[in-house]
């Protein structure tokens, strides 16, 4: 699986960083960034939590 962040939609709330700091980071202006290219199975659960919590619906998962 691949994880994507829509930087245009992102409002910098940082929920994804709090939930999955090994997958997401925030730039100095607050925009979320993805740190990994593909996700193993164990990371998918926590990333799904980040998808569900994102207040701007900017995080998504897709088949790689």
Give the Cα separation of 1 and 39 in Å (integer): 5
Nearest approach, Cβ of residue 64 and another protein (Å)? 24
Of positions 19, 23, 39, 47, contacts another protein by CB under 8 A: 19
Of positions 2, 4, 22, 57, contacts another protein by CB under 8 A: 57
Total of chain residues touching another protein, rule CB under 8 A? 19
The secondary structure of 30-64 as a DSSP string is S-EEE--SS--HHHHHHHHHHHHH-TT--EEEE--
Residues that bind another protein (CB under 8 A): 11-15, 17-19, 21, 26, 28-30, 49, 52-53, 55-57
């Amino acid at each position: 699986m691949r994880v994507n962040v829509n930087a245009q939609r992102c409002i910098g709330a940082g929920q994804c960083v709090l939930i999955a700091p090994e997958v997401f980071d925030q730039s100095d202006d607050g925009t979320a960034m993805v740190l990994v290219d593909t996700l193993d199975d164990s990371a998918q659960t926590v990333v799904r939590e980040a998808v569900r919590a994102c207040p701007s619906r900017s995080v998504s998962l897709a088949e790689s």
